Amino acid sequence: MASLLCVGVGHVGLPLSLKLWQAGHDVALVDIDISKIESLRQGVMPFLEDGSDELLALAAGSERFRPLTYGDERFPDQVAQAEYVVMTLGTPLGTDYTFRYDQYFDVLERMVPHLSEGVTLIVRSTVAPHFTHNVVTSRIAAQRDWVPGVDFHVSFCPERLVQGEAMRGIEELPEIIGADDRETARKAERLFRSLGAEKRIHHVSTVEAELAKLFLNTFRYTLFGLANEFAIIAEQHDADIFRVLEAANGGYPRGGIPRPGPSRGPCLGKDTATLAFSSSASMIAHAAIKTNENIVLHVAHELRAALGSLARRKVTVFGLAFKADTDDVRDNLTLPLVNVLDREGAVTGLYDPLVAGHDNSEVVRGSDAVVVMTPHSAFRSLGENDLVGLCGRDRREVYVFDLWNIWPWADRIFGRGSEEEHEDIGNGRVRLADARGHAAPARTGS
Ligand SMILES: NC(=O)c1ccc[n+]([C@@H]2O[C@H](COP(=O)([O-])OP(=O)(O)OC[C@H]3O[C@@H](n4cnc5c(N)ncnc54)[C@H](O)[C@@H]3O)[C@@H](O)[C@H]2O)c1
């Protein structure tokens, strides 16, 4: 088992550090956020992650698990002892739509003087093409006068977990190991093999691994963008996107169109933006960003149409977290929506039972409209009467817009056109005549 230093113990770094500890390694962790380190010392998870509380409670009582601050006098020694340094720092998006690497620059400045020869550094953040070589490898080589692949090793191994399912994902997901020489690849593989002997491992160069991560998220974000575009097109034709998807995907081997819904978050939207703004050949990535972000304008348009005007109307948005059943609010689409509503004079409220500071349902009281932006389980379980009760109004006074198809009784469900003029037949329904009075299509099948 190896001596490790994990730098940046956020949503990616902390679950991985815990799993590496569980695999038997000696794990020191450092984070610039002192409150996070203090919380780890107490054995308390600083954010929600399924299955992590129990593991942290065990790790916190062990000598092999050492949360550190930079001020800790053991920090230089921990760096020097580390056979592996795993870097899971944030790479947030700047206003120019490209990653900001300040966290990496800061860490390299603090750490590089103390590294020991032979160390292997694993870059696990999502980065732009060539960042690993041009910044991490090059800076260390220049500062220490070391030869990469001989005196030290740097590998890019992207994380592909889904928040909330991190603990399982770390064990089960295939690893992509990006390395530019055989010895570095071997050392990186040895670390990840310790997490699961059966783990599937793909060896590629560092830039290929960087692209693999960006391509994957851009691909998924493009699909979600397309699903959202289809939803709006379905609405414009007074069709129901869910019935269209069922018909298109059901039992058909080349189906797989995803369901629509607001989508962004700290991976999909961010990585797509970085790819879009780092290559002249990325038109579809730009379109994916636009189509996903357009939902905010679409919602504002629908609310305006339903309420007449947004001026002085109270609109409460349900869900600030970008993903269901998490408390992670990074890069959500809720705040852009609130900005649009605010600028039209609406009185906006935000309700998210999982996000501190927004968990008081009192904010819902008096709403003229409610919009569901995150499909938390807590929202799914709300009935129509519960919601009306929270609003403290008559049902007819509250317009409910559900972006996730979780409330069948909502006034509007994203992607669902007119509900009128249908008749049950067989396993589904047929449209008798559409709302605009066109001729009814012939009934077919059963
Ligand atoms: N969250 C995900 O689901 C996910 C999935 C795959 C990849 N990624 C990528 O992984 C990277 C990390 O993402 P995350 O969600 O864990 O971010 P995060 O913001 O949750 O974690 C980053 C951590 O680094 C710490 N940090 C910042 N500056 C530091 C410094 N100078 N020294 C030490 N620690 C410092 C922060 O305090 C924070 O705890 C990003 O590049 C992200 O794009 C994230």
Give pLDDT tens digits for 249-263. 999 999 999 999 999
In 79-148, at which residue ranges do the beta strands (DSSP E only) sit? 84-87, 120-123
The pLDDT tens digits of the residues spanning 281-332 come to: 999 999 999 999 999 999 999 999 999 999 999 999 999 999 999 999 999 9
Q: Residue 265 has what pLDDT?
A: 86
The pLDDT tens digits of the residues spanning 184-205 come to: 999 999 999 999 888 999 999 9
Are residues 229 and 137 located together in one domain of the fold?
no
Residue 131 near residue 210, CB atoms below 8 Å: yes
Q: How far is CA 42 from CA 7, 45, 62, 162, 392, in A?
A: 19, 9, 12, 26, 42
Q: What's the rounded mean pLDDT across residues 220-229?
A: 97
Q: Residue 442 has what pLDDT?
A: 39
Are residues 260 and 340 located together in one domain of the fold?
yes
Q: Residue 430 has what pLDDT?
A: 57
Number of domains within the chain: 2
Burial class of residue 287 (count of CB atoms within 10 Å of its CB; 0-12, 13-18, 19+): middle
Q: How far is CA 141 from CA 89, 115, 123, 209, 247, in A?
A: 21, 12, 16, 21, 57
Are residues 320 and 199 located together in one domain of the fold?
no
Asked if pLDDT for residue 434 goes beyond 70, the answer is no
405 C-alpha to center of ligand 1: Å?
A: 32
Q: Residue 440 has what pLDDT?
A: 39
**Other C-beta atoms within 10 Å of 432: how many?**
12
Q: Residue 420 has what pLDDT?
A: 57
Q: How far apart are CA 319 and CA 263, in angstroms?
A: 12
| Residue of 89, 105, 168, 176 with the most ligand 1 atoms within 8 Å of its CB, for mutation | 89
Tokens 């399912």 belong to 165
- Nearest residue to 353 (alpha-carbon basis) of 333, 331, 326: 326
Q: How confident is the model at residue 428 (pLDDT cuts 50, 70, 90)?
A: low
Are residues 92 and 14 located together in one domain of the fold?
yes
Sheet strands side by side (includes 399-402): 347-351, 314-318, 369-372, 399-402, 412-413
Q: Is the residue at 75 inside a domain?
A: yes
Q: Is the residue at 431 inside a domain?
A: no
Are residues 230 and 325 located together in one domain of the fold?
yes
Q: How far apart are CA 315 and CA 337, in angstroms?
A: 11
Q: Residue 197 has what pLDDT?
A: 87
Which residues pair with residue 400 across a beta bridge? 370
Are residues 168 and 296 located together in one domain of the fold?
no
The pLDDT tens digits of the residues spanning 142-157 come to: 999 999 999 999 999 9
Q: What tokens appear for 442 in the block?
A: 């012939």
Q: Is the residue at 418 inside a domain?
A: no
Asked if pLDDT for residue 441 goes beyond 80, the answer is no
Q: Is the residue at 61 inside a domain?
A: yes
Q: How far is CA 225 from CA 157, 332, 412, in A?
A: 27, 15, 20
Q: What's the rounded mean pLDDT across residues 30-56?
A: 95
Q: How far apart are CA 291 and CA 233, in angstroms?
A: 12
Q: Is the residue at 252 inside a domain?
A: yes
Nearest residue (by CA) to ligand 1, atom 28, is 103
Are residues 99 and 146 located together in one domain of the fold?
yes
Nearest residue (by CA) to ligand 1, atom 37, is 33
Are residues 340 and 378 located together in one domain of the fold?
yes
The contacts of residue 347 (CB under 8 Å, 6+ apart) are 312, 313, 314, 315
Asked if pLDDT for residue 103 goes beyond 80, the answer is yes
Are residues 244 and 135 located together in one domain of the fold?
no
Q: Residue 97 has what pLDDT?
A: 78
Q: How confident is the model at residue 93 (pLDDT cuts 50, 70, 90)?
A: confident
Residues counted in the chain: 446
Q: What is the extent of the structural domain holding 386?
A: 214-413
Q: Is the residue at 441 inside a domain?
A: no
- Nearest residue to 114 (alpha-carbon basis) of 134, 85, 157: 85
Are residues 109 and 236 located together in one domain of the fold?
no
The contacts of residue 9 (CB under 8 Å, 6+ apart) are 17, 29, 30, 31, 36, 37, 40, 67, 88
Q: Is the residue at 445 inside a domain?
A: no
Q: Residue 439 has what pLDDT?
A: 38
Nearest residue (by CA) to ligand 1, atom 7, is 159
The radius of gyration of the chain from alpha carbons, rounded to an integer in Å, stands at 25
Q: Is the residue at 433 inside a domain?
A: no
Where is the domain boundary, 204, 238, 258? 204
91 C-alpha to center of ligand 1: Å?
A: 7
Where is the domain boundary, 161, 176, 204? 204
Helix (H, G, I), strand (E, B) or coil at 143: helix
Are residues 287 and 165 located together in one domain of the fold?
no
Q: List ligand 1's pocket residues with C-beta within 6 A.
A: 7-13, 30-33, 36, 88-91, 103, 106-107, 125-126, 159, 161, 163, 266-267
Q: What's the rounded mean pLDDT across residues 207-228?
A: 97
Q: How far apart are CA 229 and CA 260, in angstroms?
A: 8
Asked if pLDDT for residue 407 goes beyond 80, the answer is yes
Task: Tell me which amino acid residue 119 is.
Answer: V
CATH number at residue 282: 3.40.50.720
218 C-alpha to center of ligand 1: Å?
A: 19
190 C-alpha to center of ligand 1: Å?
A: 23
Q: Are strands 369-372 and 314-318 parallel, antiparallel or unpaired?
A: parallel
Are residues 227 and 172 located together in one domain of the fold?
no
Q: What is the average pLDDT score of the chain?
A: 93
Asked if pLDDT for residue 162 goes beyond 90, the answer is no
Helix (H, G, I), strand (E, B) or coil at 122: strand
